[in-house]
Amino acid sequence: MIDGVVQEVDIRTGKVLFQWDAADHVPYAQSEQPLPASAATPWDWFHVNAVKQDTDGSLLVDARNTWTTYDVSRRTGAIRWQLGGKASSFTLTAAPGQRLNAARTLFAWQHDPEPLGHGLYTVFDNESAGIANTGTGTLTELPYSRVDTVRLDPRTHTATLVRSVAQPSGLSASSQGNAQTLGDGALAVGWGSLPYVSEFGPSGGLLFDAEFPAGVNTYRAYRFDWR
């Protein structure tokens, strides 16, 4: 199997200040990734693809192949809560006008959880992992990728999908992808393995949509002032 490891490293000295190994904290049974056809092929059961510091200083560790974002204590390494997947700490709901996927979860094969504060998070919801990752080539739940905005209520242990922005052409990204919330509430999105980058206004309207040349895509896309 392929473990998922998160480290905090002092750049000046090279000293590892913190290390977290997924296999020490997450049961293999939480994986959505099928076993390889051959025992000679390592099983990528977890596949960590992002780590971010939450607003309270804990770490958000995202695992594509368990469909879960983990909130991890930087002091003990313990998982404080899980969002999505087979062992979510929250009951998953959708606000009026929003919908969960067919598996009744918020996201699948996701990337890039981003804390916005006040219990709000965005997640790039791939909803597809492609032939190379799953061995099936079928779309997981929805026929398109989207960006989810989720509100967590720790008192009621509820996670509510309050907003979703779909890929403008109704396409699915089998890997990669991110969403950047801008100061005015707009959303800049890189569509990962799809060769597109978009910006949506605060109300969800499409403001900008560009396509890269053939053969080019982007793991992450951001909007910044150019100097």
The mean predicted confidence, pLDDT, of the chain is: 93
Q: How does residue 137 score in pLDDT terms, banded at 50, 70 and 90?
A: very low
Residue pLDDT, tens place only, 23-48: 999 999 999 999 998 999 999 999 99
CB 159 within 8 A of CB 91: yes
Q: Does position 222 have pLDDT exceeding 60, yes or no?
A: yes
φ, ψ dihedrals at 218, nearest 5°:
-140, 130
Q: Rounded to an integer, what distance in angstroms lies between the CA atom of residue 128 and that of residue 139?
A: 5
Q: Rounded to an integer, what distance in angstroms lies between the CA atom of residue 190 and that of residue 11?
A: 28
The average pLDDT across 14-18 equals: 97
Strand arrangement, sheet containing 48-53: 48-53, 59-63, 68-72, 79-83
3-state secondary structure of 59: strand
Q: Give residues with Cβ within 8 angstroms of 170, minimum separation 6.
A: 143, 144
Q: Rounded to an integer, what distance in angstroms lies between the CA atom of residue 73 and that of residue 71?
A: 7
Residue pLDDT, tens place only, 113-127: 999 999 999 999 999
Residue pLDDT, tens place only, 37-96: 899 999 999 999 999 999 999 999 999 999 999 999 999 999 999 999 999 999 999 999
